[in-house]
């Protein structure tokens, strides 16, 4: 990790954000203070932590003369229960979580800031990202959660019957999309970023059994109202406009993630208290 | 005004709202703390005054067992600069004011509360309402503003060149749509409520000259970025589903509004300090 300046600060603190932005042209906004499940419990806290803090960020970007903001939105929640699957970008957005409403609102403010002040933006509606460096602290991302449970020798917990299908995209593909969004100069501002393939929770369990060679135990629990049965993105716009398509192999991607998380686990078990970055 | 209980309180105060809701089944939500122009100046205050207070309202409605919330949204701002004119309900919504984003967010929370808790709702995206009882204090509504300027013997102020066209709908038609939304039980939750006719500012001036018989003076000022050139709603869904269509005559509606505002003006001039209700 060279040529990286690292600042730590509270996203809700505009002066901390202003310090971090100084001298840069492009801002990648990947912050979210809640999860789809937690956001519904306190919707007002969700608006405050995400929407209001993001408006502060945009005001700060505008004052700092930032040329473009790349925002990672949520391909899995902004559409709610969409009529069209795979779901294209121009589908109506009726989220069934406060999390999704907040992501959608931030997209609207990006558009507003472009209209009022000429600050450019791109929105990537990323499906369900996974891969190395996925930390478990936020309790988000089922692949990371499954691997953590396996490493802790606990049974896997599945909400619902295991048939829920999602569009999992490897972080290396997401990073490539973020880079392409910086240089893209066409008419579109919203891109779905996903594998375009719907995979069930039971399929993930199958892959994990294959990788570990173990008969991993699964406990099925009641489904949650925030979980739609299937979510998979139509990514043809990203292919046509950004020349982007997901290329990581699913099984290999899970194997990489598993290997990385096991190294983390071994490191912690050996008395390390910081996550090594490579 | 009989059989009306009147409560005064701050919309931002959930306990005041809870008192007002007690014992009712239907809530009409018509509150907005900002205007399209003022909202852009302080976007965070706009979110707080409108979105957060509306989430509080919905939580209170849920606790009070309210069956249905009818929300007056903004047909003139939620669509931004729409591709389709007249604009149907399923047009993409990219507002160019924070006001429009807040209205849109509240629509999304209504959908969320229905999904999570089964509380029913209808959204009326009302275009530019006008008519008697339109008070000038909020600085909203160009017809009311024009009449106020005429009564004060001031020249009319027009932002832009007078060709800006809007969809003006008489308050009596809006009230009828609100009533129909209460009993409507079909699959739709969003209705455009407008006249379906685009009228320019210069046309309104023409009608006012006709009504008053005076050569009203107009001062043209620079256009504002919050004003789209034309906004007119496609109201076929309301016609088909609610059996609603705007029926008030435009010239007669302006004449009624003028007569009502002149009576108010005369009443104030004679030393009255309260607005009489009839």
Are A129 and B125 in contact, with CB atoms under 8 Å apart?
Answer: no
pLDDT at A273 over 60: no
Mean pLDDT of chain A: 92
> Residue B108: which of A95, A109, A225 has the nearest Cβ?
A95
Picking from B162, B151, B130, the residue whose alpha carbon sits closest to that of residue B227 is B162
* pLDDT for position A136: 64
| DSSP secondary structure string for all residues of A80-109 | BS-SSSSBPTTS--B-SSHHHHHHHHHHHH
The mean pLDDT value for A32-55 works out to 89
pLDDT at B142 over 70: yes
CA angle B43, A117, A79 (to 5 degrees): 60
For β-strands B120-126 and B68-74, DSSP reports them as parallel
Residues of B in contact with A105 (CB under 8 A): 51, 101, 104-105
Model confidence at A182, in pLDDT bands (50, 70, 90)?
very high
pLDDT at B1 over 60: no
pLDDT tens, A74-83? 999 999 999 9
Q: pTM for this one?
A: 0.92
pLDDT at A278 over 50: no
* pLDDT for position A137: 63
pLDDT tens, B181-208? 999 999 999 999 999 999 999 999 999 9
Distances (CA, A) of B165 to A87, B79, B130, B206: 35, 15, 15, 14
CB atoms B92 and A90 under 8 Å:
yes
Q: Is A204 helix (H, G, I), strand (E, B) or coil?
A: helix
Q: Which of A7, A24, A99, A184 is catalytic?
A: A99
Q: Is A184 a catalytic residue?
A: no
Q: Is A92 on the interface with B (CB under 8 A)?
A: yes
Q: Is B224 on the interface with A (CB under 8 A)?
A: no
Tell me which of A12, A42, A43 to substitute to probe the interface with B (most B C-beta atoms closer than 10 Å).
A43
């Amino acid at each position: 990790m060279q040529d990286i300046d690292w600042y730590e600060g509270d996203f809700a603190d505009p002066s901390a954000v202003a310090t971090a932005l100084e001298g840069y042209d492009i801002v990648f906004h990947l912050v979210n203070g809640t999860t789809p499940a937690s956001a519904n419990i306190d919707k007002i806290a969700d608006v405050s932590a995400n929407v209001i803090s993001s408006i502060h960020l945009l005001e700060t970007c505008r004052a700092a003369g930032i040329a473009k903001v790349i925002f990672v939105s949520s391909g899995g929640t902004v559409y709610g229960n969409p009529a069209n699957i795979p779901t294209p970008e121009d589908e109506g957005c009726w989220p069934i979580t406060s999390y999704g409403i907040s992501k959608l609102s931030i997209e609207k403010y990006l558009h507003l800031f472009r209209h009022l002040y000429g600050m450019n933006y791109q929105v990537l509606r990323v499906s369900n990202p996974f891969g190395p460096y996925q930390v478990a602290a936020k309790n988000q991302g089922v692949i990371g959660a499954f691997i953590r449970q396996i490493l802790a020798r606990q049974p896997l917990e599945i909400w619902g019957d295991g048939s829920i299908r999602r569009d999992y995209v490897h972080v290396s593909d997401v990073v490539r999309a973020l880079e392409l969004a910086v240089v893209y100069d066409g008419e579109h501002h919203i891109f779905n970023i996903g594998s375009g393939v719907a995979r069930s929770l039971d399929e993930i369990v199958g892959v994990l059994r294959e990788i570990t060679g173990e008969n991993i135990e699964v406990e099925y629990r009641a489904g949650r109202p925030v979980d739609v049965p299937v979510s998979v993105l139509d990514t043809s716009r990203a292919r046509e406009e950004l020349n982007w398509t997901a290329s990581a192999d699913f099984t290999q991607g899970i194997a990489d993630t598993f290997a990385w998380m096991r190294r983390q686990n071994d490191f912690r078990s050996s008395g390390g208290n910081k996550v090594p970055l490579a």
